[in-house]
């Protein structure tokens, strides 16, 4: 599939690995940077979502998404992203994400206004507390440098999911150009999505924050971990 990710805000906290280990499926291990695991909250815009070489589909190709994630590798050492949740404001997008990629999509009420600042709000169905963000990029854009924290957090070219029905771990390759990121000025943020997922809560500002205006990505088909991609 082709996807365009826009107005991304990456908020990350360094957390002890032991607080997240119990939230991963068998076959995955936490990936760390300088001895710490990292927990991320990422609100952004999904645009022009479609199968490769096919046109966009009205009602599904553009929506808002907010994901909660950490960083992992499988038993063969391939690094990637593990999503604790992906909230979106399109019911069909949630259904397809669950059925095609076995990802934990959840329906949410979401709204945004984008100009110099991005104002972003999400409220998962069934919850009472919303997650609110106000942010903008500042300074020049930069490419992630190998060995840097930004490279560790952003340059992930695989996603993992768990198919519960067959109890199997899956992986999909992701391809995009290297991120060009800005430092983020964050006027307002929320850690409420951690509570939605019954994850360890954090009470401090993010240890790292950056924004990315846009990156175009290709998502390849799932394969069972241990088989050829």
Domain holding 190: CATH number? 2.40.400.10
Task: Please tell me the predicted confidence (pLDDT) of residue 228.
Answer: 53
Q: What DSSP character marks residue 194?
A: H
Distance, in Å, from the CA atom of 45 to the CA atom of 214, rounded to the nearest integer, reads 9
Alpha carbon separation from 40 to 52, 75, 116, 131, 195 (Å, rounded): 28, 23, 23, 14, 13
Number of independent structural domains in the chain:
1
Residue with tokens 């690094």: 79
Output the pLDDT for position 191.
97
What is the per-residue pLDDT for 49?
87
Cβ(46)–Cβ(64) below 8 Å: yes
- Asked whether 159 and 171 are in contact (CB, 8 A), the reply is yes
What distance in Å separates the CA atoms of residue 1 and residue 54, rounded to the nearest whole number? Answer: 9
196 three-state secondary structure: helix
Site of tokens 């206004």? 113
Does 181 fall in a domain?
Answer: yes
- DSSP line for 81-148: EEEEEEEES-HHHHHHHHHHH---EEEEEEEEEESSSEEEEEEETT-S--EEEEEEEEEEEEEPPTTS
Domain residues for 68?
2-224
Quick one: 65 exposed, middle or buried, by C-beta within 10 A (0-12, 13-18, 19+)? buried
Q: What is the pLDDT along the chain (229 residues), one digit of tens a residue?
A: 899 999 999 999 999 999 999 999 999 999 999 999 999 999 999 998 888 777 777 667 899 999 999 999 999 999 999 999 999 999 988 998 999 999 999 999 999 999 999 999 999 999 999 999 999 999 999 999 999 999 999 999 999 999 999 999 999 999 999 999 999 999 999 999 999 999 999 999 999 999 999 999 999 999 999 765 5
By three-state DSSP, how is residue 70 classified?
strand
Residue 31 CA to residue 156 CA, distance in Å, equals: 11
Three-state DSSP at 153 gives helix
pTM for this one? 0.95
Check residue 15 and give its pLDDT: 96
Rounded CA-CA distance 58/79 in Å is 34
Does any domain span residue 229?
Answer: no
């Amino acid at each position: 599939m082709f996807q365009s990710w826009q107005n991304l805000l990456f908020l990350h906290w360094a957390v002890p690995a032991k607080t997240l280990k119990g939230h991963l499926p068998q076959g995955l291990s936490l990936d760390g940077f300088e001895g710490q695991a990292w927990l991320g909250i990422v609100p952004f815009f999904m645009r022009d979502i479609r199968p490769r070489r096919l046109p966009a589909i009205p009602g599904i190709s553009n929506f808002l998404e907010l994901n909660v994630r950490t960083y992992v590798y499988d038993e063969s050492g391939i690094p990637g992203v593990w999503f604790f949740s992906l909230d979106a404001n399109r019911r069909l997008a949630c259904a397809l994400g669950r059925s095609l990629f076995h990802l934990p999509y959840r329906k949410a009420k979401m709204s945004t206004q984008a100009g110099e600042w991005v104002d972003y709000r999400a409220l998962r169905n069934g919850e009472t507390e919303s997650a609110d963000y106000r942010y903008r990029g500042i300074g020049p854009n930069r490419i992630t440098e190998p060995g840097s924290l930004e490279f560790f957090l952003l340059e992930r070219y695989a996603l993992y999911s768990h198919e519960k029905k067959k109890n199997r771990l899956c992986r999909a390759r992701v391809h995009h150009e290297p991120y060009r990121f800005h430092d983020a000025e964050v006027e307002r943020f929320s850690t409420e999505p951690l509570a939605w997922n019954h994850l360890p809560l954090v009470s401090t500002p993010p240890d790292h924050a950056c924004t990315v205006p846009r990156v175009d990505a290709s998502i390849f088909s799932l394969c069972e971990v241990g088989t050829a991609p």
